Amino acid sequence: MRVLITALAVLVFLVPQAALATTQIPDAIIIEGQRHSLYSLPLEQYYRAGHPRPQFRSPHTANWRGYVATWEIDRGRLYLKSIRAWIGKKEVGLEALFPGQKAPIPATWFTGQLRVPQGKILKVGVPQPIHEKDLVITVEQGKVTRQEIVDNIGRVGPSKR
């Protein structure tokens, strides 16, 4: 009986937290002059590559990472254009995180895939929703090597809102 009560108590605490999880504010990316949401976080690789990570502070529950960056693909390369970050009690920009560098900053540290959602939302999710399609951009050391459209319609059922 005690095990059952403990299990129920754990569920009572876990279920509301999952139900109240907040979708995170995405970074942005500019492609051919158009601004899109970016469901990838290229800046995280910069900090994993040995650069000291600032003590980012979450400004609210929709931004646990403590920053929002704007990226751009220009002439086949990925650039960091701007950033809005919260450190301590201050809001800071690109100059505070990359002293002495001016935008745009070549993202040569990044190798991986960028997910750019397209179309209607099929399923609300955390940390990000699933859209009808994703533009998936493969990048190697800041250089775009491939772009493809991934169709999510057959892979995910419609959202029940």
Question: Which region holds residue 100: left if phi is over 0, alpha if psi is between -120 and 50, else beta?
Answer: left
For residue 3, pLDDT over 50 is answered with no
pLDDT digits (tens, 9 = 90+) for 80-98: 999 999 999 999 999 999 9
pLDDT digits (tens, 9 = 90+) for 125-148: 766 778 789 899 999 999 999 999
Do residues 64 and 58 make contact, with C-beta atoms less than 8 angstroms apart?
Answer: yes
Q: Average the pLDDT over 104-120 and give the result.
A: 95
Q: Average the pLDDT over 100-120 and give the result.
A: 95
Q: How confident is the model at residue 5 (pLDDT cuts 50, 70, 90)?
A: very low
pLDDT digits (tens, 9 = 90+) for 44-85: 999 988 889 999 999 999 999 999 999 999 999 999 999 999
Helices (H), 29-138: 43-48, 94-97
What is the CA 146 to chain-centroid distance, rounded? 20
Q: How confident is the model at residue 122 (pLDDT cuts 50, 70, 90)?
A: confident
On the 0-12 / 13-18 / 19+ scale of CB atoms within 10 A, 19 is exposed
What is the CA 103 to chain-centroid distance, rounded? 20
CA distance 80 to 27: 11
Please give the pLDDT value at position 123. 84
Q: How confident is the model at residue 121 (pLDDT cuts 50, 70, 90)?
A: confident
Question: Looking at residue 8, what DSSP letter applies?
Answer: H
Q: Average the pLDDT over 27-50 and give the result.
A: 94
Q: Give this prediction's pTM.
A: 0.79
Q: What angle do CA 113, 117, 123 make, to 5 degrees?
A: 115
For the chain, the structural domain boundaries read: 23-151
Give the strand pairing for 130-140 and 77-87: unpaired
Identify the sign of the CA torsion 73, 58, 46, 126: negative
Please give the pLDDT value at position 126. 62
If you average pLDDT over every residue of the chain, what do you get? 84
